[in-house]
Amino acid sequence: MTHSISSAVAERLSPVACAAAKAQGKRVSVLTAYDYPGARLLEEAGVEWILVGDSLGMVVLGYPDTTHVTLADMAHHTAAAARGLTHTPLIADLPIGTYNDEATAIQSARILLAAGAHAVKLEGGVSHAKQVAALTAAGIPVMGHIGMLPQSVLLEGGYRIKGRTEDAATALVKDALALEAAGAFAMVVELVEPGAAQRIREAVRIPTIGIGSGEACDGHVLVTHDLVGAFPWFHPKFVTPAAHVGESIREAVKNWVQQFV
């Protein structure tokens, strides 16, 4: 079913509203959630927007990257997260292969909205501006994603910092402008050299949400598991865990098991 607060939240996610918030200097906090308790805890903590990221492929489903995540996976976890929310905007990733053209993008996005999302996110700038325009024309709020694109990790042979050269930085600015022109309300800027991230922020009116791109963006997004240490086997270099939930679980269970030895 569609989330009951979709219309109210969609208004908050309009490009006009988001641009006005940016002009006022408002910073945007975004964290990921993949289930009911995770989303509810984030809302109770005051997170501005919640993202059902296809990062669930690694931190929930045990895949090596996001390229194995399906639309069914995303719909399942979006529905679970939506049940934990009462007023916070919920954005869901369109997984790889589900937005190759405009018609497919709209069809895929409607599945995620039916599951409870208020908006969708997709990767790509100039290359996917037509899909963003088609989605927004259909009344579906869209968050863009430029810089390092996790769904392209196999093609690029790893996670690499973007925007290090003048040409690369200029191309990213063009990507950002294309997303804004197509109607996106915000964009993730991932693993972009901080100077280039600053240029992107200054070039567009809508918020830029950084991850691993320095402090020059209008807000930040993290995988919650990285922030709280819930996935202790790996965390990105740009994240300092604020807690060690994984270690706490391991220790608690170890102590419980020892009661029976």
Q: What is the pTM of this model?
A: 0.95
DSSP 70: -
* Alpha-helical runs (H) found in the chain: 6-12, 15-23, 36-45, 56-59, 71-82, 102-115, 129-137, 153-156, 166-182, 194-203, 224-228, 245-258
CATH architecture assignment, domain 6-222: Alpha-Beta Barrel (3.20)
Q: Indicate the domain borders of the chain.
A: 6-222
Residue positions annotated with a catalytic role: 190
pLDDT at 98: 98
pLDDT at 1: 40
pLDDT at 2: 43
What is the C-alpha separation between 216 and 202, in angstroms, rounded? 9
Cα 90 to chain center, whole Å? 10
Phi and psi torsions of 65, nearest 5°: -160, -175
Q: Give me the tens of pLDDT residue by residue for the chain, a chain 261 residues long.
A: 444 446 778 788 999 999 999 999 999 999 999 999 999 999 999 999 999 999 999 999 999 999 999 999 999 999 999 999 999 999 999 999 999 999 999 999 999 999 999 999 999 999 999 999 999 999 999 999 999 999 999 988 889 999 999 999 999 999 999 999 999 999 999 999 999 999 999 999 999 999 999 999 999 999 999 999 999 999 898 999 999 999 999 999 999 999 987
> Cα separations (Å) of 250 from 37, 205, 256?
19, 45, 10
pLDDT at 9: 82
